[in-house]
Chains A and B, each alone.
Chain A
Amino acid sequence: MILALSVAVGFVVGWARYRGRIFGRIAALPLRSTWLALLAVALQLPLLRAPAGSVERIRVQQVLFLLSHLVLLIFVWRNRRLTGIQILGLGVMCNLLVIAVNGGFMPIAPQTLTRINPGSLPSQWLAGLYYGYSKDIILLREQTRFEMLSDMWVIPPPFPWPTAFSLGDVLIALGIMVLLQGSAVTGRS
């Protein structure tokens, strides 16, 4: 939800700058193989629909999730000339790094979960379990590698969608907003 919101914010900013011309600018974005982005989401849907519980139950979903990152990286490579994609790609790689070194899921600490689930206690969030309907595994802070890149940043209530996010997510949102200001190409492919 929160990252999908970045598309809306980027669109609004673009509209403020370019008014009606924003549609032409978006249509003119020289994106290649956009179907890869849709394929990546499709590969992640089984995981995003899985309820909380043991990670052993979602091994197939996890494999598809990791495979989706390969698809994403191909998309980023195909569109690497675009500045927004470069920023977004950096975000994807930050997320992929912390996911790869923490058992194939994005780690999130019990303390962070209590901040986005008001009324809950850290002891309710058992380390090692999959959080549910997400890409997250609950890990203690001392168990987390590259904690600075994990879902440790929080938008708490009263924000209507309390969310924990990572540095990679910030870069992805920024990259999308840059893209939506119109194409900026660096160098030659």
Chain B
Amino acid sequence: MNKLNQLWLRYGTPSNLKVLYVLLALVALAVAGGAPSGGSGVGGG
């Protein structure tokens, strides 16, 4: 837990969090806009 806290203090800067948010939004765009389909009944994304 202490290590996690240290990682958060070191990397959880506003800039890094913004990068994470943008990447999350791009993944969301990819999933929402696309319609690929996976095999073995696992659907797509």
Contact = CB atoms under 8 A, between A and B. Distances in A.
Interface of A: 1-4, 6-7, 10-11, 23-24, 26-27, 29, 31, 34, 37-38, 40-41, 43-44, 48, 52, 68, 71-72, 75, 88, 91-92, 95, 99, 106, 108, 113, 116-118, 131-136, 151, 157, 161-166, 168-169, 172-173, 176, 179-180
Contact of B18 (A27, A40, A68): A27
A67 to B, nearest CB: 11
Interface of B: 15-16, 18-19, 21-45
A63 to B, nearest CB: 15
A45 B44 CA distance: 12
Q: Is the interface of B mostly helix, strand, loop or mixed?
A: helix
A88 B38 contact: no
A27 B32 contact: no
Given A3-B30, A4-B30, A27-B19, A165 B40 contact: no
A172 B16 CA distance: 25
18 contacts: A7-B30, A26-B19, A27-B22, A34-B25, A37-B26, A40-B32, A41-B28, A72-B29, A92-B33, A95-B35, A108-B37, A133-B41, A135-B35, A163-B38, A164-B36, A166-B34, A176-B29, A180-B26
